[in-house]
Amino acid sequence: MFDTFPSVPRDAALDAAQCLFFDHGHRLAEAARFVGGASAEARVIDLGVRLAHATRMTTKIRRDLWALYCLLSLEDEPDHGHEETIVLADLNLASPQIVEICLVTDLLGDLLETIAAPPVLLPPASQSTRVHLSAPNAA
């Protein structure tokens, strides 16, 4: 009775993305709102809904995952006169919000590496422009 195979093969990349959004979608949306405002949060929610209903990983979903990664990792150069840029410049890098953003960005980066998401490959860790938090050096 339970030994039948599904008629549609599973998409491992889609499964991984769905798991990430199931486990961390709320955190991703909050991080996007913190960095990019309400419209960024809405895009994450839309992406989560599309992932929940998807039957395969599409190019659009991959692109949207990549765009979210670029937003959270501040890959795109911010406009220096923009309100969010002014707010981000005044933040303490050890604040809980920044730590949370770094954690979910790393999870998303791991997903993109796992699924080898085009259209752009992730830079090697040595060339990454992400801010990594570490304990202050005792000099």
Residue 134 belongs to some domain of the structure: no
Domain ranges, residue 103: 12-76+85-121
Would you say the pTM of this structure is higher than 0.85? no
Coil, helix or strand for 75? coil
Place of tokens 């039948």: 4
What letter does residue 125 receive in the DSSP assignment? Answer: G
pLDDT at 100: 92
How many independent structural domains does the chain possess?
A: 1
Residue 38 belongs to some domain of the structure: yes
* DSSP E strand boundaries for the chain: none
Higher pLDDT, 37 or 5: 37
Euclidean distance between CA atoms 81 and 85, whole angstroms = 7
Residue 67 belongs to some domain of the structure: yes
Nearest Cα neighbor of 130 from 78, 70, 41 is 70
Confidence class of residue 28 from pLDDT cuts 50, 70 and 90?
very high
Euclidean distance between CA atoms 52 and 17, whole angstroms = 9
pLDDT at 74: 82
Residue 92 belongs to some domain of the structure: yes
What pLDDT digit, counting tens, does each position of 29-58 carry?
999 998 888 999 999 999 999 999 999 999
Confirm if 72 and 31 have CB atoms less than 8 A apart.
yes
- What number is the average pLDDT over the span 15-21? 94
Residue 139 belongs to some domain of the structure: no
Residue 52 belongs to some domain of the structure: yes
What pLDDT digit, counting tens, does each position of 69-127 carry?
999 988 765 555 555 544 555 666 777 888 899 999 999 999 999 888 554 444 554 44
pLDDT at 135: 41
pLDDT at 98: 87
What letter does residue 6 receive in the DSSP assignment? Answer: P
Confirm if 115 and 17 have CB atoms less than 8 A apart.
yes
Higher pLDDT, 87 or 19: 19
pLDDT at 6: 55
Euclidean distance between CA atoms 131 and 129, whole angstroms = 6
Phi-psi region of 62 (alpha: psi -120 to 50; beta: other; left: phi over 0): alpha
Residue 7 belongs to some domain of the structure: no
| Model confidence at 7: pLDDT above 50 | yes
